[in-house]
Amino acid sequence: MSEKHLVVQGATCKCKFSEDSSKTDKIKVKSQSKHFGNDKGSNKLIATTKEIGQTLENNTFGKCKKQPAGNSFLPCQAVITQWSNFYEKVTLSNQGKILLEDSKATCPMGTPDCIEIINHGQTAEPGEQNFKNISPMIHNLINPMVDVREMYTQEAKHEGIKFNN
């Protein structure tokens, strides 16, 4: 993957030792309240390496295979002790490093990197540059109501603009 997304509040995680492999939980950013991901004033805080302890919404991934109890397993109590594969070039105001979509967490019951991020939590917002870069044929397939070729052939008018000479 050439571009890695940073992780924000609401990112989905799963543990490889969960009895139910489809059981997930979401990151809840508690270590800072200043730095946001997504553009245009989103309310999704950026997750950092300081998201330690019980920093998930439910703090569980179901039953933990590392805790056998008779013919079943004890409930998971997810506690993150450290993060790996984070972005080292930036330190936020809480002294934490930014988590990336391939970052992994360690739980004391599992092994290092037993919790992985399966969705970074960001939402794609197309901008003007996205429309300029897309092929008109592909744009027409996605949105047949608009002919983007007209946007490129019309010359900009400078009506109402006064220039100081």
Cβ neighbours of residue 32 closer than 8 Å, sequence gap 6 or more: 45, 46, 48, 50, 92, 93, 94, 96
Q: What are the pLDDT digits (tens) for 26-64?
A: 999 999 988 888 655 567 899 999 999 999 999 999 999
Q: Are residues 54 and 99 in the same domain?
A: yes
Query: Is 164 a member of any domain?
Result: no
Question: pLDDT: is 130 or 141 the higher one?
Answer: 141
Q: Please tell me whether residues 59 and 5 are part of one structural domain.
A: yes
What is the per-residue pLDDT for 141? 82
- Find all residues with CB under 8 Å of 8, minimum gap 6, and list them: 29, 36, 37, 38, 42, 44, 45, 46, 47, 120, 121, 122
Residues 144 and 96 in one domain: no
7 and 75 in a common domain: yes
Report H helices in the chain.
128-133, 136-142, 149-153
Domain extent for 114: 1-123
Identify whether residues 66 and 138 lie together within a single domain.
no
**Chain-wide mean pLDDT for the chain?**
85
Are 12 and 82 found together in one domain?
A: yes
pLDDT band for position 143 (cuts 50, 70, 90): confident
Q: Summarize pLDDT for 12-27 with one digit per residue, the tens.
A: 999 999 999 899 999 9
Q: Are residues 13 and 89 in the same domain?
A: yes
As separate numbers, helices (DSSP H) first and strands (DSSP E) second, the chain gives: 3, 9
pLDDT value of position 1: 39
- Number of domains the chain contains: 2
Per the domain annotation, does 32 fall within a domain? yes
| pLDDT bracket for residue 153 (50, 70, 90) | low
* Ranges 32-36, 107-111, 143-147: which has the least confidence: 143-147
* Residue 162 domain-assigned (yes or no): no
Specify the pLDDT at position 40. 59
Residues 106 and 133 in one domain: no
Same domain as 132, residue 65: no
> For position 105, what pLDDT does the model report?
95
Query: 138 and 100, same structural domain?
Result: no
Q: What tokens does 148 get?
A: 């983007």
Q: In what order do the strands lie in the sheet with 25-26?
A: 25-26, 12-15, 115-119, 104-106, 82-84
Lowest mean pLDDT among 28-42, 67-81, 111-125: 28-42
pLDDT (0 to 100) of residue 91: 92
